[in-house]
Structure 1
Amino acid sequence: MGADRFSTSARLKAFGQEAQARVYRAAGLPRQGATGPVRRNKLTGRAALLGLVVCALVVALAYPMRSYVAQRSDIADQRRAAQQAKQKVEQLRREKARWQDPDYVRTQARLQLHYVMPGETGYSVAAGPSPTPDPAADHGKGNQAAAVRPWYDNLWDSVDHADAAGAPPAAAR
């Protein structure tokens, strides 16, 4: 006896149902006894689990990646600062080497400190009186005269100008 698991009637019934389904599909008609097209769920359990694992990995790796990027940025900043410090040290070494030269020291003493060598006569030119005593004329020159005067004279002149700007004209008094 064969090891048939299904009887002949059951096989014929299944064969008939498959043939009927093919006919209805070919004609584009809904199947008899069915309420609508059979829809399969597109989200399977495996896909949901894979999505959950991917989300967990993104969340787990977000903070370490942020820290890594911040540390790389800090390292780059520190390397830039070290390079600038090396350039500054090199510049100061060159300047120190210049100051070891007696001719350079003599030149700087003449220029910055107004020193004179023994036997030379030093002259100093004092600024004379301003050719325009009118304070309004000083404003038109771009404050060239203000740079020569002491600070307290400049302060007092600015107070006078502010007072003159707010006062009524002399004819109206």
Structure 2
Amino acid sequence: MAGKSRDRYSTATRIRLIGERTAARVYRSQTRRQIRRSRLTGRAALLALVLCTLVVALAYPMRQYVSQRSDIAEQQREADRAREGLEELRDQKARWQDPAFVEQQAREHLHYVRPGETGYTMIDPAAGDRRHADQGAAERPWYSNVWDGVDTADRTDD
């Protein structure tokens, strides 16, 4: 009997020891998980801090980049407008190289006539008092007509 109780005791003792070991292992594995979790939490916090720092550090240069891109686009639009204006000026220069165009412009704007042609000037009846001042304009020198025009423009109607 004594042998049986010792076997029982030793079995109970073994079971208790196994339970204690198992509990120690469980405790150690929980501690390791907590350490891992805290490491992951620390790593995640560090990663978040690095990302926030990058966002803050890159915000101003990105704003400058976008601003400069819009400035470049505006400059390109201005250059395109200048090219179009240049093309118009080249076309106008080419027209002025044509003697027929020059003659047309002289006839239209300067009232030139060819030799042998008679030029007529129509007086606007709605001009009122100006009509009387222009009656002798053809007989006077051109510079007198210019000064009369300046005097007429300066006059105030009281």
Greater per-residue helix proportion: 2
Consecutive aligned runs of 4 or more in structure 1 exceeding 6 Å deviation: 150-153
After TM superposition, list the pairs within 5 Å mapping 1:42-61 onto structure 2: 44-61=41-58
Whole-Å Cα distance in 1 between the matches of residues 23 and 82 of structure 2? 90
Deviations 1:64-97 (A, max 9, x none): 1111111111111111111111111111011001
Match of 1:12 in 2: 19
Match of 1:101 in 2: 98
How well do the aligned residues superpose, as a CA RMSD in angstroms?
3.2
User: 1:44 is aligned with what amino acid?
Assistant: T
Shift of 1:61: 0.8
3-state SS of the aligned residue for 2:123? coil
Deviations 1:119-139 (A, max 9, x none): 111111112258xxxxxxxxx
- Structure with the greater alpha carbon radius of gyration: 2
Structure 2 runs not aligned, ≥5 long: 1-12, 25-36, 128-151
TM-score (norm 1): 0.53
Structure 1 runs not aligned, ≥5 long: 1-6, 18-39, 131-149, 158-173
Match of 2:31 in 1: none
Match of 1:31 in 2: none
Alignment length, in residue pairs? Answer: 109
User: 2:18 is aligned with what amino acid?
Assistant: R
Identity of aligned residues (%): 55
